[in-house]
Structure 1
Amino acid sequence: MREPSADVSATVEYTMDKWRMDRVPWAMWACVAGLAIALHAESRGQNGAALATVYLALLGLAFAGYALTTLIGRSGLPLLLELLIGALVLIIVSGVIGVISVMVGGWSGRSSYVGTMHSLYWSHLVNPSLNVFGWMLLYLGLGWIAFSSYRHFHRDRAVVSLSSAGIRLHRFWLRGLFIPWYEVRGVGHLEVPGISGVPFVSPYSAAVTVGRDFFEQHVAPKRSFLAPPGSEAMFQPKGDMMQVVLNSADMTVKPEDFLVPAEARWKTFRDWAGSSSQPGGTIVHGRWAIDGSRWQAVQFLAPLVGMAVVMLYR
């Protein structure tokens, strides 16, 4: 066995920080558009700021119901039980939406229709003024900016980490997965079966290969039923072994930035049962930083100029 060098003893971490921060300028433009609409569009006497929160709450509730029913459909439950649970979720979500709608409808009092019939006034729900959508854009944009900024300055746990001991993967649906280097059988680009029978090597995906037994015992049980659609593409068979894909689009890191350090550590530590006794610090990929380029300056300054123009000509 050879003594590991100081370079490969360093831990390499991969985060989503750059992916989130790269979308902050778009969120800023959403704020510009939302502010312009909220200030200049007609309100018809409606409280656009308050009604926008109701719309966002209803949209969030509807999405949560859809996500829950999708997860139930993938849970493998008996069909009858699946239908009963799905119906219960639909009833609860519809009931909550109905209660919120009645409460909102009550804010405007009552309105007369034919004869002595009275009904709650619903126009501000079914026909809201345009400034409501402006406030919605403003809330969504500010929410993304606040969330991304918080995560940038108080960074969360790395999605993938390469250390002298092995590979750690951490997602909300795949927590605490650890693959020691001595269980890795290969490092390279993802191979998928081709139409002609010849494997197709994807240049966009970096993967490590592990034994089927290790995968069934230590990887598969870590997968949660909360896994989003398409997450199964992270695990691909390769003969009698399994490939685990390391990179993904939400890390904005090139496959080579995974393969080079992973292969170096695998070749160095695959014969070691433990980790290096002298860790060599931490290297972070996917971390956003000010690079001083004109394009980055334009991305962040242009929305601010747009915001100033909107405020100036309100």
Structure 2
Amino acid sequence: MNVSGLDPDQTLEYRPATTIVRLLPTGLLLIFLGLLILALVVDRDREPVWTYLGVGLCLTLGAGLSGFTLWRRWHHGKPVFTLSPDGIHYRIPFVKQVLIPWHEIQGVDTVDIEAGYWSILWSTESLRYNTFILRHVTVILLPQRFYQQHLHISSLLLRGPAWKANFIPKGDLVQMALHHEYVSVEPRALREAVEARWRAFREKPAAPMARTSVPSTMNPSAAKTAVSHPAPTSGVIAMGEDPKSMSWWEATKVIALLIGIAIVSANLAGLWQASAPTPESDARAQARTHQKAWQESIKKSREDSKRLEAEDKERRRQLDEDMRRAFGR
């Protein structure tokens, strides 16, 4: 077995499972921040509604992200792209899967790609576009004709926000990016695997290929190298790091965040307090109690006033009716 991926007869599959699993600390951090904000609220009666909306958003996103990463740890999902002797099977999530024959590819290159995202600048309450650079990305060069016929999607919604970072026009060609970081492999190893198959099969016409089954396990790797494990029945090799593996640093972050979540949750449950009550906090508590009693007193007075007014109105109506009856006789 050639674990380097340079044997062109091997079929290699690349999944984003490991990258998704590595987002577990981010999900736990959102949960921790939501609980911390809630614990720091001093006067819950006067806190603006936006605070609770932010807390709910943090907890919802954090719980959803954490649950999804844990699920993806065991269910690796479909590959983003597959390198086979027939070409590159490229999957656009929720839309389609396209076979790119090797003879359609005009070249293989490594480039730096500028990507970006929109964010809200709270100081001015305006949208801002932030850019960053993706380094050493492997790209294949495709004719505009092939791109328009097989890969282009007219709907902006189905394209998604990363479309321009995946398909970059270059004159009469289109650079299609194969992002190594997304599938947790080394950039050089990915380029060599692509280039080895392109050089071996670019002169051959594409032949129909029966879909092979998906391997269920990946071989663990300590470094970000293209380490592979062959599926026992299909011969397909899953490339990249094992989603079930975890470095000491990642484990430390997860454990620290879980401890923080437990501590803040215990505080919210009333099992402990950050400090003993101070005269100032007692004064604030008494002031809140008096204010609540005053508000209840005002409410009760208004209700009594309405009740008395209704009773007086009823008495006047009854008196008018009695007078009409007396004079009517």
| TM-score grouping bracket, smaller chain normalisation | 0.5 to 0.7
One-letter identity of the residue aligned with 2:14:
Y
Q: Is residue 252 of structure 2 the alignment partner of residue 298 of structure 1?
A: yes
Distance 1:251 1:260 in 2: 15
**Compared CA separation, residues 37 and 161, structure 1 to 2 (3 A):** same
**Once the 2 structures are TM-superposed, how far is the Cα of residue 20 of structure 1 from its aligned partner?**
1.9
Q: Is residue 212 of structure 2 the alignment partner of residue 274 of structure 1?
A: no
Q: Which residue in the other structure is 2:137 paired with? A: 205
1:31–1:137: 8 Å Cα contact kept in structure 2? yes
**Compared CA separation, residues 276 and 143, structure 1 to 2 (3 A):** closer
**Compared CA separation, residues 208 and 139, structure 1 to 2 (3 A):** same
One-letter identity of the residue aligned with 2:261:
M
One-letter identity of the residue aligned with 2:254:
F
**Once the 2 structures are TM-superposed, how far is the Cα of residue 142 of structure 1 from its aligned partner?**
0.7
**Once the 2 structures are TM-superposed, how far is the Cα of residue 160 of structure 1 from its aligned partner?**
1.7
1:190–1:205: 8 Å Cα contact kept in structure 2? yes
Q: Which residue in the other structure is 1:147 paired with? A: 68
Fraction of identical pairs, as percent = 27
Q: How does 1:114-263 map to 2 (within 5 A)?
A: 127-128=48-49, 130=51, 133-172=54-93, 175-190=96-111, 203-220=135-152, 222=153, 224-226=155-157, 227-229=159-161, 231-247=163-179, 250-263=182-195
Q: Which residue in the other structure is 1:197 paired with? A: none
Distance 2:101 2:50 in 1: 58
1:235–1:244: 8 Å Cα contact kept in structure 2? yes
Distance 1:274 1:312 in 2: 63
Q: Which residue in the other structure is 1:19 paired with? A: 19
Distance 2:37 2:112 in 1: 49
Q: Which residue in the other structure is 1:308 paired with? A: 262
Q: 1:289 aligns with which of 229, 234, 244?
A: 244
**Compared CA separation, residues 133 and 166, structure 1 to 2 (3 A):** same
Q: Which residue in the other structure is 1:118 paired with? A: none
One-letter identity of the residue aligned with 2:201:
F
2:185–2:239: 8 Å Cα contact kept in structure 1? no
Q: Which residue in the other structure is 1:71 paired with? A: none
**Once the 2 structures are TM-superposed, how far is the Cα of residue 260 of structure 1 from its aligned partner?**
1.3
Q: Which residue in the other structure is 1:7 paired with? A: 7
One-letter identity of the residue aligned with 1:307:
I
Q: Which residue in the other structure is 2:327 paired with? A: none
**Once the 2 structures are TM-superposed, how far is the Cα of residue 208 of structure 1 from its aligned partner?**
0.8
2:22–2:69: 8 Å Cα contact kept in structure 1? no
Higher helix share goes to which structure?
1
1:186–1:209: 8 Å Cα contact kept in structure 2? yes
Distance 2:54 2:148 in 1: 49
**Structure number with higher relative contact order (C-alpha < 8 Å, ≥ 6 residues apart):** 1
Greater C-alpha radius of gyration: 2
Q: Which residue in the other structure is 1:64 paired with? A: none
2:13–2:236: 8 Å Cα contact kept in structure 1? no
Distance 2:43 2:8 in 1: 61
1:209–1:242: 8 Å Cα contact kept in structure 2? yes
1:166–1:178: 8 Å Cα contact kept in structure 2? yes
Q: What SS is found at the alignment partner of 2:106?
A: strand
Q: Which residue in the other structure is 2:31 paired with? A: 31
**Compared CA separation, residues 214 and 36, structure 1 to 2 (3 A):** closer
2:106–2:142: 8 Å Cα contact kept in structure 1? yes
Distance 2:56 2:143 in 1: 53
Cα shift readout 1:100-157 (whole Å, capped 9, x = no counterpart): xxxxxxxxxxxxxxxxxxxxxxx99xx3284554343222211111122223322322
Q: What SS is found at the alignment partner of 1:210?
A: strand
**Once the 2 structures are TM-superposed, how far is the Cα of residue 247 of structure 1 from its aligned partner?**
1.4
Aligned residue pairs total 220
